[in-house]
Amino acid sequence: MNELEILKNESAEKDRTLMEYKHFIQLEIHQRDRRHAKLNKFEVKKREKKAILDQQINEIEKQNMILHSLEKEMKDLRHKYEVLFSMPIIFHLSPFFTSRRLVKVEITRVSNSSIVTTSCVSSTRRQTSKRIS
C-alpha cells in the first residue's frame, strides 16, 4: 500500500507540474498576442502617418511647380515690358497666395518725369491687367 500511495503522489505531482506548465504556456501565448496586437496598431499608425507625409510632399511639389511657373511668367512679363518700353522695371510680388492660386504683381517703372505702377492679377484660369498712373 505504501508503494501505491507513492505512485499516486508522484502522479499527482506530475499532473500539477503539467497544469502549471500549461498555464505558463497560456500566459506566454497571451502576452505574445498582446504584443502582436500592439505592433499591428503601431504599423497602422505608421502607414497613416506615411500616407499623410506623402500627401504633404506631393502638395509641396505641386506648389513648387506653380511657384516656378509663376516666376517664369513674371520673368517673361518683365522681359516683354522692358522690350516694349525700353526701360528697366521693378517687380513687387504680393505676399499672399489664395486657394485659387491668385497672385498680384505690381510693376513700377521709373522714368525722368513720373513713376508708373501697373498691377497684374495672374491666376491659372484668367489673366487681367490694368494700368494705374
- % residues pLDDT > 90 (the chain): 53
Is residue 127 pLDDT above 50, yes or no? no
Average pLDDT, the chain: 78
The grid coordinates listed for 86 are 525700353
Q: For residue 131, give the 3-state DSSP assignment.
A: strand
Model pLDDT for residues 55-64, shown as the tens digit of each residue: 999 999 999 9
- What pLDDT, on a 0 to 100 scale, did the predictor assign at position 96? 46
Q: Which residue has the cell 511668367?
A: 73
What is the model's pTM?
A: 0.47
| pLDDT value for 8 | 92
CB count, 10 Å around CB of 51? 10
CA distances from 2 to 5, 6, 7, 12 (A): 5, 6, 9, 15
Spatial CB neighbours of 122, under 8 Å, sequence gap ≥ 6: 70, 73, 102, 103, 104, 105
> What's phi and psi for 97, nearest 5 deg?
-125, 135
Q: What is the Cα–Cα distance from 123 to 104, expressed in whole angstroms?
A: 9
pLDDT in tens, 54-112: 999 999 999 999 999 999 999 998 888 878 776 655 555 554 444 444 445 555 555 55
